[in-house]
Amino acid sequence: MKEWNNDKELISLIKGELYTAVIGDIMDKMGYLHQFLPQQIRALREDMFVVGRAMTVLEADVYENQTAGGMNPILKRSFGLMLEALDDLKEDEIYICSGASPDYALWGELMSARAIQCKAGGAVVNGYSRDTKGILELNFPCFSYGPYAQDQAPRGKVIDYRVPIEIEGVLINDGDMLIGDIDGVCVVPRQIEEEVFIRALEKARGERLVLKKIQEGMKARDAFDKFGIM
């Protein structure tokens, strides 16, 4: 039975009781077998946890000295639509960006500061981040390939946002729920989220019971046969 009435209550439940492994297990059982982003997208700090709705951002590689003669006016602007995308972040949304080659940073300290002002939930980028010390001091949840200082300004531009994006075969639609922790980042499609989170809460609570029984001496085979969890 659904235990939340709005996103605030759902996010609170996820933060309090869930983690990517149990959510991924439920999606596996539902036939959604490819919902984790690639392993190289990691938290900048191991204790970082991110949860919120995706605000999808599409980036493309450019060559600054070649855009002057192009037909697309967006490519003539610094960062393309990146500043507009950043300013459009809503409370608890996660800036998730893909489309560029992994040759430069897609996120940094000033972007984090603006996202905090927007009350955003975090950032997940299919590439590197920079200004690592500043991001960590801001305590802003950031998931990326890791630190790399090379700037996007002359190398990449945001060409659209709030559009479907794909990261190594994982489709992310604007508004899907993202959850990230030390074990990775998973994507829960909006159309299945109610069932996923109802079942994930049930499984997480069952796992805590099984853990207690194993710690009390129950054998793994007996625990699985009784609870169906391992």
pTM: 0.92
- Asked if residue 138 is part of any domain, the answer here is yes
Three-class SS of residue 180? strand
Is residue 209's pLDDT more than 90?
Answer: no
Report the binding-site residues.
108-111, 130-131
Residues 212, 160 share a domain? no
Tell me the residue range of the domain where 84 lies: 35-187
pLDDT range class, residue 70, cuts 50, 70, 90: confident
Report the binding-site residues for substrate.
108-111, 130
Give the CATH number for residue 76. 3.50.30.40
Q: Beta-strand (E) ranges in 121-164?
A: 122-125, 128-129, 142-144, 156-161
- Asked if residue 26 is part of any domain, the answer here is no
CB neighbour burial string for 6-33, b if at least 16 within 10 angstroms, e if fewer: eeeebbebbeeebbbbbbbbbbeeeebe
Residues 201, 165 share a domain? no
Question: Whole-number mean pLDDT of the chain?
Answer: 93
pLDDT range class, residue 208, cuts 50, 70, 90: confident
- What is the per-residue pLDDT across 73-105, written as a single tens digit (0 to 9) for each? 888 888 999 999 999 999 999 999 999 999 999
The total number of structural domains in the chain stands at 2
Residues 208, 172 share a domain? no
Report the binding-site residues for Mg(2+).
131
